[in-house]
Amino acid sequence: MGSVVYYVKADGKLSTNVSDAAALTGTEITGLTNGSTYKVEEYSTGSGAGGSAPTTDTGAKIDIGGNTKTAGKIETTTQGGRTTTTVTLNHNDISGILEGAAAGATITVPITTGADTASGRLDGQAVKDMEKKEAALVIKTDSVSYVLPASDINIDMISGKFGKNVSLSDIAVNISISKPSDATAKVVQSSASSGGFSIQVPAVEFTVSCTYGGKTVEVSAFNSYVERMIAIPDGVDTGKITTAIVVETDGSVHHVPTEVTLINGKYYAKINSLTNSVYTLIYNPLKFSDVESHWAKDSINNMGSRLVVSGVGGTNYEPSRSITRAEMAAIMVRALGLEPGTGTNSFADVNSSAWYCKYIETASAYGIINGYDSSTFGPNDTITREQAMTMIARAMNITGLKVSLTENEMDKLLGAYSDGTSASDYAESGIAACLKTGVVKGASETTIAPKSCVTRAEVAVMAERLLQKSGLI
């Protein structure tokens, strides 16, 4: 083991070298600079349980609109066998760059050191300046990129969590792409074993955190889909990338919308999600035995492989059976990649121990479903086509599938069918939106059948089309 050097850690960054500070390791000291509070940490200059002294380069490069700019410093540290490279962006540099940038600009921070964690750091005011410009920050490693619109950080809301009159420039915002810890990697592998699917690409963890005055707030949910791109390694069969999944700390998993795409001769998995977490790419081929000759066979098997729809009694799907309101809520939550259990259960007829309770909580929280009234949902009631189309139209607001309808256009879309006038008033706009986008078609060339029950096969097709039309798969 090499000699030991002690460094002062201020606001999460390693800074001034402190000599003869062994007795202070792990303790806080004050008064070094402007009365600020610092923490002394130990880094070994050789191998061992400590780490290495930080290396710093003041010439961090960023890319904006194809132009390379210098806008901060790069620092790499090693601790506990893991390396972290952090690019800290200078607020004044970012502000100057944004002044001449067009609205919607993308600032790309390349981090190609091969570190276990690649982080971009900037202050809250820089985030606010980017938000005003509708700009996005991209953290990009050799194999992963993370595209985060500044507005999705919601820095004003975050500031309020730290207290009143907090200066945005004093809030440190950190966006990271990490190789999961060994413990998390074991959870991912265990989830694959129990779920019956295979992992095709190692897991990646994405985090966004904001720190002020020793307090840290995690930004784990966003208002719109945030894009992540994971390079598919050479030698991995792209035909065996079914989807990406989120792996929770308890080992539970859920689908997130994923598309395999070819960019400049290299294949990537484009993942869109409304949350931060640990992601991995899986292969999960699934074929239901009772849909072999069914018209919706491909859509049902595709949605089943992606963990959006599930079978009934082993390998059967029961495609022609009418779907229940609880099943519909669950499929919509899974299709959109939402986390079950977000929100609360306000329905008296939804038992907290029922398999569908958490799905109904999330679907309600995101405005996808309503009850018959404030306390009644009817989870086991079958759902009609007009109810299903209303839910699909609400989900379009989440996926970003924009639909503009005039009153005349809506009347024309419904009037093209002999039973269009029989649709309920509340459902007319939702039905028209589904018809205009092509997410849902008529029950026949001449009918919508708004009051008829929707089948499990039809819902699988609706979910697939919603994701396809929204550009998510």
pLDDT in tens, 262-319: 999 999 999 999 999 999 999 999 999 999 999 999 999 999 999 999 999 878 999 9
The whole-number pLDDT of residue 80 equals 84
Residue of 160, 177, 175, 176 lying closest to 212 (CA atoms): 160
The answer to whether residue 226 scores a pLDDT higher than 90 is yes
Asked if pLDDT for residue 17 goes beyond 60, the answer is no
| Structure confidence at residue 61 as a pLDDT band (50, 70, 90) | confident
- When pLDDT is averaged across residues 47-58 and rounded to a whole number, the result is 58
Share of the chain above pLDDT 90, in %: 75
Q: Is the pLDDT of residue 452 over 60?
A: yes
Q: In this predicted structure, what is the pLDDT of residue 100?
A: 80
pLDDT confidence of residue 6:
42
Q: What is the pLDDT of residue 228?
A: 95
For the ranges 133-137, 154-158, 342-346, the lowest mean pLDDT is seen at 342-346
Residues of the chain with pLDDT > 70, as a percent, come to 88
The answer to whether residue 45 scores a pLDDT higher than 90 is: no
- State the pTM of this model: 0.84
Q: Report the pLDDT value the prediction gives residue 72, as an integer from 0 to 100.
A: 85
Q: At what angle do helices 385-399 and 428-437 cross, to 10 degrees?
A: 70
- Predicted confidence at residue 81, as pLDDT, reads 87
Residue 34 has pLDDT above 50, yes or no: no
Both structure tokens of 114: 């091969």
The pLDDT score that the predictor gives to residue 51 is 56
Residues 6 or more apart whose CB falls under 8 angstroms from that of 218 comprise 207, 208, 209, 276
pLDDT of residue 411: 94
> Given a cut of 90, is residue 16 above it in pLDDT?
no
**How would residue 52 be classed by pLDDT, with cut points 50, 70 and 90?**
low
Half-sphere exposure of 272 (CA within 13 A, CB side): 19
Task: Provide the pLDDT for residue 50.
Answer: 53
Lowest mean pLDDT among 233-237, 318-322, 382-386: 233-237
Average pLDDT over residues 393-418: 94
Q: Which residues contact 186 (CB under 8 A, 6 or more apart)?
A: none
**Three-class SS of the chain:** CCCEEEEEEECCEEEEECCCCHHHCCCEEECCCCCCEEEEEEEECCCCCCEEEEEEECCCEEEECCEEEECEEEEEEEECCEEEEEEEECHHHHHHHHHCCCCCCEEEEECCCCCCEEEEEEEHHHHHHHHHCCCEEEEECCCEEEEEEHHHHCHHHHHHHHCCCCCHHHCEEEEEEECCCHHHHHHHHHHHHHHCCEEEEEEEEEEEEEEECCEEEECCEEEEEEEEEEECCCCCCHHHCCEEEEECCCCCEEEECEEEEEECCEEEEEEEEEECCEEEEEECCCCCHHHCCCCCHHHHHHHHHCCCCCCCCCCCCCCCCECEHHHHHHHHHHHHCCCCCCCCCCCCCCCCCCCCHHHHHHHHHCCCCCCCECCECCCCCECEHHHHHHHHHHHHHHHCCCCCCCHHHHHHHHHCCCCHHHCCHHHHHHHHHHHHHCCCCCCCCCCCCCCCECEHHHHHHHHHHHHHHCCCC
pLDDT at residue number 102: 86
Residue 383 CA to residue 455 CA, distance in Å, equals 9
Residue with the bigger pLDDT between 37 and 414: it is: 414
pLDDT of res. 56: 65
pLDDT at 382 over 90: yes
What pLDDT does residue 54 have?
66
Q: What does the block give as tokens for 461? A: 């097709």
Instruction: Please write the tens of the pLDDT for every residue from 99-113.
Output: 888 889 999 999 999
Q: How far is CA 126 from the centre of its chain?
A: 23
The confidence score (pLDDT) of residue 324 equals 96
Give the model confidence (pLDDT) of 64-119 as tens digits. Answer: 878 888 888 999 999 888 999 999 998 888 888 888 888 899 999 999 999 999 99
pLDDT of residue 1: 35
pLDDT of 39 above 60: no
Report pLDDT for 98.
Answer: 87
Mean pLDDT of the chain: 88
